[in-house]
Homo-oligomer: A and B are copies of this chain.
Amino acid sequence: AWKGAPQFEGEGGWSFKVRGRLNIDAGFSDYPDSTGRQDGFGSEMRRARLGVQGEIPGGFGYKVEADFAGGDAEMADAYVSYEDGGLELVVGHQNNFQSLEELTSSLNTSFIERAAFTDAFNFERRLGVSAQYKTGDFLVQGGAFSDNMNDLPSRDFSVDGRVVYMPKLGNTQLHFGGSVHYAKLVEDGSTVRYRQRPFEHFTGERFINTGSFGADSERGLGLESAVIAGPFHAAGEAYWQKVSRSGFADPTFFGGYVEMGYFLTQGDSRGYKNGKFDRVKPTHPVGKGGIGAIQVNARYDYLDLTDAGIVGGTQNGYEFSVIWTQTAYTRLMLNYARLQYDDAVYPTASGDTSYGANVVAMRAQIDF
């Protein structure tokens, strides 16, 4: 079978497939001049991944994928799994059940960059053990994790849980979910820092940023909802990140988004599977007489990093995207974002910290 690349299958339950992806980005940004921040043209290889996945008779599976985009190699998924009926156990480097937006593969998101809170609150893969149980329209996920492979050795740990209810009403897919996150920062002098780039990843400028501050633990609470109805979809999430500090008040930061999208091409729809958005498979792809799928999306993307005496700033983002999915394994994306900041960390010459930024971003994508 071809899934971008050949998937080999052997007797008794063997399978093997090479996998990978390229996200090639470029864009323009326009920041207020007197903040002294560098804007203009930028480009980067956002992701360049190569890996494999496979199954071994007896219910075992694995996935190993490295990302070469940063000029070195950084591990993405790298885990061993065991499946039995609706139960799946996973040991290794994996996502820890925070947010529909984070769990949806970067291949299948509606915008070039995910909603601001996901990076800001440091959602990332961690080394750990997890279990997932699926029964009918319910999905329950939980795990215990140490840290991202790049941050190990560390004695920090987290526990995470997520529940999803995903009924299908006729042809309408609904999604309701909630997740909790608790991270204990064990090392002496532990700090956290929440911050976010202005929509493009290839800039190093961050207008909202709590700076590093001492922390004992993090508690996160997320709510998720989504609907897919033919060419239309909507999704919204809210996420509260609370930090426990010694000798100071405990701040709670908040982020969330609401997005809507529509396919202009007939018969196309967003994919959905196992509590996540899945691949768009154009009804009439390029190469089979069609032009692929064309989708337009709009998102309101909010992030508030100011609380309890920490003034990290607030973002109100207004974001628009056009996605041209020529085939199930290729797409081009064009995004525009208007970001409105309050209490931004870089004042203008006149001392103003409330201002806007404009960003145009493009991506060419292929996966296999």
Contacts and interface: CB of A to CB of B under 8 A. Distances in A.
A71 B74 contact: yes
Given A54-B5, A71-B74, A286-B58, A44 B80 contact: no
A265 to B, nearest CB: 15
Interface in A1-55: 2, 4-6, 8, 10-14, 16, 18, 20, 22, 24, 26, 38, 40-45, 48, 50-52, 54
Contacts of A202: 152-153
Contacts of A251: none
A58 B292 CA distance: 10
B12 A287 contact: yes
A50 B78 CA distance: 11
B326 A62 contact: no
Interface of A: 2, 4-6, 8, 10-14, 16, 18, 20, 22, 24, 26, 38, 40-45, 48, 50-52, 54, 56-60, 62, 64, 66, 68-69, 71-75, 78-80, 91-93, 127-128, 146, 149-150, 152-153, 155, 157, 202-204, 285-288, 326-327, 329-330, 364-366, 368
A50 B51 contact: yes
A249 B224 CA distance: 63
Given A4-B56, A42-B153, A16 B13 contact: no
Contacts of A68: 64, 66, 73, 75, 78
A127 B11 CA distance: 39
Contacts of A128: 43
Nearest to A148: B71
A58 B152 contact: no
Contact of A60 (B62, B72, B326): B326
A128 to B, nearest CB: 8
A329 B6 CA distance: 22
Contacts of A18: 16, 18, 52
B92 A20 contact: no
A44 B93 CA distance: 9
A366 B44 contact: no
A201 to B, nearest CB: 10
A268 to B, nearest CB: 16
8 contacts: A6-B10, A22-B80, A48-B75, A60-B287, A60-B326, A66-B68, A71-B74, A91-B364
B64 A22 contact: yes
Contact of A52 (B5, B14, B152): B5
Nearest to A126: B43
A45 B50 CA distance: 18
A128 B44 CA distance: 9
Contacts of A92: 22, 24, 45, 364
A153 to B, nearest CB: 5
A165 B11 CA distance: 38
